Structure 1
Amino acid sequence: MPVDHFINEKISQLMYYLNALLKKEVHPTELNLFIWDCFEEWNILKVTDDTPNNARERVFWHLLHELKLGSGSLNDLDNDWNLKFEIETCMDFLEGQGRYPIHCVGWRPV
């Protein structure tokens, strides 16, 4: 599977999970499983270049890392305004409705 196809497919899926999470329609564990699946599937692709192809891909990786390794807890998203704002800012950009997130550092996993 080409990298661009993988990223576009995973962005669509991530947006679905995040919208459902923000509406409390899915439990955060569902999102965590999706994130680990993304990392596992990425590893299967055996991509050696760690430089993302474009801004959407950088925001995608940034968002995955923030969700998995960020300072906040997805279980307490209502009280973690910083993480919630970061999620919404990245989502807006990925949906073509917002600006590139200021503190975005999105690198492909190696």
Structure 2
Amino acid sequence: MSIYILTPELFIKQKAQQLVYVVNQLMKQAIPFSEVHIILWDILEEWNRLDKEDSDGLSDFERVFWHLFYTIQFETECDLANNKHLRLAIDKCCKYLQQPDLPTPAGCVGVRP
């Protein structure tokens, strides 16, 4: 019998795909803004149940993940729909999380909650 331990790194890799999907749907206005906040809170609750060391360093991938997470959570629905610069930055984060071999998007300063 093997024990599966979900590390912060594995958690982020798994949740990144979910986050990208939700963000892309939001950008297409295919899901309501309020629904996205519920999904983000679910991710945060799961993160809080995770056994993790705060001293662990963050990879570029995790920094981009948390940057995108906070951006979606704290920007207004109007800005997410209409701010072209913001939409471009979000798109770059999503593409990077889907293809981590791409250059890390500039200005992503995500930190763990």
Report the TM-score, using the length of structure 2 for normalisation.
Answer: 0.81
Equivalent residues, number: 107
Q: Which among 64, 67, 79 is matched to residue 72 of structure 2?
A: 67
Question: Are 1:57 and 2:62 counterparts?
Answer: yes
Deviation at 1:4, TM superposition (A): 2.0
Instruction: Give the structure 2 partner of residue 48 of structure 1.
Output: 53
**1:106 is paired with a residue of what secondary structure?**
coil
**Aligned equivalents of 1:51, 1:84: Cα separation in 2:** 30
Superposition pairs for residues 64-103 of structure 1, below 5 Å?
Answer: 64-69=69-74, 72-96=75-99, 98-103=102-107
Instruction: Give the structure 2 partner of residue 5 of structure 1.
Output: 10
- Counterpart of 1:15, as a letter, is V
Contact 2:7 2:52 in 1 (8 A): no
**2:10 is paired with a residue of what secondary structure?**
helix
**Structure 2: gaps (5+ residues):** 1-5
| Aligned CA-pair RMSD | 1.9
Q: Which has the higher contact order (CA 8 A, sep 6+)?
A: 2
Q: Which among 32, 37, 50 is matched to residue 32 of structure 1?
A: 37
**Structure 1: gaps (5+ residues):** none
| Change in CA separation of 1:52 and 1:31 when aligned onto 2, cut-off 3 Å | farther
| Change in CA separation of 1:47 and 1:66 when aligned onto 2, cut-off 3 Å | same
Report the TM-score, using the length of structure 1 for normalisation.
Answer: 0.82
Contact 1:7 1:57 in 2 (8 A): yes
| Change in CA separation of 1:19 and 1:52 when aligned onto 2, cut-off 3 Å | farther
